[in-house]
Amino acid sequence: MHKQAADSEAHTWAAGERAASRERNYRRFEDEQKGAAEAAARIRERRLEEQRQRERQTREELTKNDATKAEQAKKEKATREAARDSVLSAAARQVEQLRQQRDAMRRAEDRKQKAAEEQERKCREDSQREEEAKRRQAKEANRQRKERTERERARRQEEQVQQEREEKVAADYPMGHSMSSDLSFVNRCEIILSLHERYIKQARQGRVDGRKLLTQLLGVPGNASSATVKKHYRTTMAMFHPDKAPQDCKDIAGRVAQCINDAKTRLLGAGG
């Protein structure tokens, strides 16, 4: 807004200066035309006065001289009139030239003014287009920021739902689930792997200490002592040792054994 106001004020000042310059030029041309007309009038008056004087002289000479002198006087008169007409014609031509120059300067000034106005209009349009482009960019940036915020909120909600689902699954499998005979060997292995994976994920996020998940993994109470942890560790490891696992389950049993060792190490380290 300040830029547009400054541009408008500069345009007004420039227009005033151009108008003043044009008026001075017009006045100077009018003064020159008036001076030329006055000079022509003085020349004409002087010529007329000279003509009157010569006529008086001619009349005086005609009274004294013969017809030859009278004819000569007429020729001189004709010559003077021709000279006078020539001077008047030259003055008229000069006045016409001045008028043409004045008209040409007026047209040039008008063209310059129109060009300046056109340039100013283009500058205003360019400025408006730039401002419109900036507004569109700002609007697009706001839209993208809102979209990112929405995606982040949706991701957090999804993580929260996933966490609640995992907590519900954990609640469905109380302590001692690894000893349950109602589940197959593979299902029990998958439960242990799921608990260990949840512990690793939550430990990386720094949200909980994960002791509850580790005790569930070994099938011991949350306040179990080191001796109880070691005892259940040996029992659980004996159940899931790869050497005692079925032939088609040795791979998953090996991963479960690693999870059990890690849980024991972390529980004993935290407790002692």
Query: Residue 207's pLDDT band (boundaries 50, 70, 90)?
Result: low
Confidence grade of residue 174 (pLDDT, cut at 50, 70, 90) = very low
Radius of gyration (C-alpha) of the chain in whole angstroms? 58
What is the arithmetic mean of pLDDT over 156-166?
A: 68
Give the model confidence (pLDDT) of 10-52 as tens digits: 778 777 778 888 888 878 888 888 888 888 888 888 888 888 8
More confidently predicted of 249 and 176: 249
d(CA 272, CA 270): 6
Q: Which of 96, 112, 147 is the last residue of a domain?
A: 147
Domain assignment of residue 261, yes or no: yes
pLDDT digits (tens, 9 = 90+) for 82-109: 888 888 888 888 888 898 999 999 999 8
Average model confidence (pLDDT) across the chain:
80
Decide if 80 is inside a domain.
Answer: yes
Q: Is residue 87 part of a domain?
A: yes
Structural domain count of the chain? 2
> DSSP letter at 210?
-
Regarding whether 131 and 187 lie in a shared domain, the answer is: no
Residue that finishes a domain, picked among 147, 163, 184: 147
Range scoring the smallest mean pLDDT among 80-89, 136-145, 211-220: 211-220
**Residue 175 pLDDT greater than 50, yes or no:** no
Q: Is 193 a domain residue?
A: yes
Q: Determine the pLDDT at residue 169.
A: 47
Most confident segment among 80-84, 182-186, 200-204: 80-84
pLDDT score for 208: 56
Q: Residue 71, Cβ neighbours under 10 Å: how many?
A: 10
Q: Tell me: do 201 and 265 sit in the same domain.
A: yes
Same domain, 69 and 198: no
What integer pLDDT is reported at residue 209 of this predicted model? Answer: 60
Residues 77 and 210 grouped into a single domain = no
Q: Indicate left, alpha or beta for 219 from its phi (over 0: left) and psi (-120 to 50: alpha).
A: left
> Are 99 and 193 part of one and the same domain?
no
Specify whether 114 is located in the same domain as 204.
no
Element holding 249 (H helix, E strand) = none
Please, which contacts does 10-16 make with residues 24 or more away whose CB atoms are closer than 8 Å?
A: 11/120, 14/116, 15/113
In this prediction the pTM is 0.35
Which CATH number characterizes residue 210's domain?
1.10.287
Please tell me the least confidently modeled range out of 10-24, 65-79, 153-167. Answer: 153-167
Q: Is residue 211 part of a domain?
A: yes
* Residue 99 structural domain: 2-147
Q: What is the pLDDT of residue 170?
A: 46
- pLDDT at position 271 is 46
Residue 267 in tokens: 């529980």
Q: Are residues 79 and 37 in the same domain?
A: yes
Same domain flag for 202 and 124:
no
